Amino acid sequence: MPRRVSTKQLLIACQMSFEGKSNREIASALGFTETTVSNWRKLEIWQEFEAELIDAHKQQALNLESATPS
């Protein structure tokens, strides 16, 4: 019987992906298959998490840029 993934696990997987981890590394860490992780990437919730991570990264970069003296 297939295991169900929690929202928290999806967020962790998305964060790992954002940090450059491969599907294989993510799958191994969370106990799922590479194919499953690949399928997660197609989910709307993954896309939303990814967009939030990108926005947060951009905001952090802008904050660092504005804090650096010219």
Residues 36-53: tens digit of each pLDDT: 999 999 999 999 999 999
Structure tokens belonging to residue 15: 């964060």
Q: Mean pLDDT over all residues of the chain?
A: 91
How far CA 33 is from CA of 36, 42, 63, in Å, comes to 5, 15, 38
Categorize the per-residue pLDDT at 16 as very low, low, confident or very high, splitting at 50, 70 and 90.
very high
- Look at the pTM and tell me if it is higher than 0.85: no
User: Quick one: average pLDDT of 4-16?
Assistant: 95
pLDDT at position 68: 65
Q: How confident is the model at residue 64 (pLDDT cuts 50, 70, 90)?
A: confident
